[in-house]
């Protein structure tokens, strides 16, 4: 049975207006991290880093010309589409329930139709690393299959993630972790607001 996830309790956060000011200040100091692909990866495959106004993810080849995209975000905002303006504050000010999203493309052409070249960057990585990361994502989907949520707006399927979402760990941070698992170097940033890949 699928269910909507409750947000974690927010004890210890009595000064929310001050937190709002803090987030604005920290956000203004945020920056883009630079991604450097691995040099001469073994048995290389191409994965794609995709970035849009409200989404970042990685797209992997999964055989027979098919591709699968994974992305991370806040459960209520990203998966359940509770995107009214007043949800912005509790989405970013303290950790909330995170989610992992998955979207499948039957062909490379369908992927490009959704993510034009201006929105994606190709990165060559070792096939074994790519396969291992996809396998780890699929284990999360298997573990939370009963709680999955199909979102027709994103055309993605979502399941709960193991880590909570907030401004201190957002979709760019998750993508940076994934890229490091693929052998890439990603520069540090206090608040990451983008990823620049070659």
Write out pLDDT tens, residues 34-80.
899 999 999 999 999 999 877 899 999 999 999 999 999 988 767 66
In a domain, 115, yes or no: yes
In a domain, 27, yes or no: no
In a domain, 24, yes or no: no
In a domain, 35, yes or no: no
Distances (CA, A) of 35 to 49, 178, 187, 198: 10, 11, 7, 7
In a domain, 127, yes or no: yes
In a domain, 79, yes or no: yes
pLDDT at 32 over 90: no
The helix (run of H) or strand (run of E) holding residue 34 is strand 31-36
Number of domain units in the chain = 1
In a domain, 56, yes or no: yes
In a domain, 100, yes or no: yes
Q: What is the pLDDT of residue 136?
A: 98
Residues 187, 196: Cα–Cα separation, whole Å: 10
Q: What is the pLDDT of residue 64?
A: 92
Structural domain boundaries enclosing 172: 40-196
């Amino acid at each position: 049975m699928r269910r909507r996830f409750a947000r974690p309790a927010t004890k210890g956060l009595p000064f929310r207006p001050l937190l709002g000011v803090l987030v604005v200040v920290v956000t203004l100091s945020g920056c883009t991290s630079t991604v450097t692909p691995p040099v001469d990866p073994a048995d290389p495959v191409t994965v794609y880093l995709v970035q849009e106004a409200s989404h970042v993810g990685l797209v992997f080849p999964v055989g027979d010309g098919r591709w699968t995209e994974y992305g991370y975000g806040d459960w209520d905002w990203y998966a359940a589409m509770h995107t009214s303006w007043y949800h912005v504050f509790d989405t970013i000010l303290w950790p909330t329930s995170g989610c992992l999203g998955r979207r499948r493309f039957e062909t490379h052409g369908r992927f490009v139709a959704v993510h034009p070249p201006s929105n994606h960057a190709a990165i060559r990585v070792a096939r074994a690393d790519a396969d291992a990361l996809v396998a780890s994502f699929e284990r999360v989907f298997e573990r939370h299959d009963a709680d999955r949520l199909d979102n027709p707006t994103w055309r993605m399927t979502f399941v709960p993630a193991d880590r909570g979402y907030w401004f201190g760990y957002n979709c760019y941070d998750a993508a940076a972790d994934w890229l490091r698992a693929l052998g890439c170097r990603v520069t540090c940033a206090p608040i990451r607001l983008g990823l620049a890949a070659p």
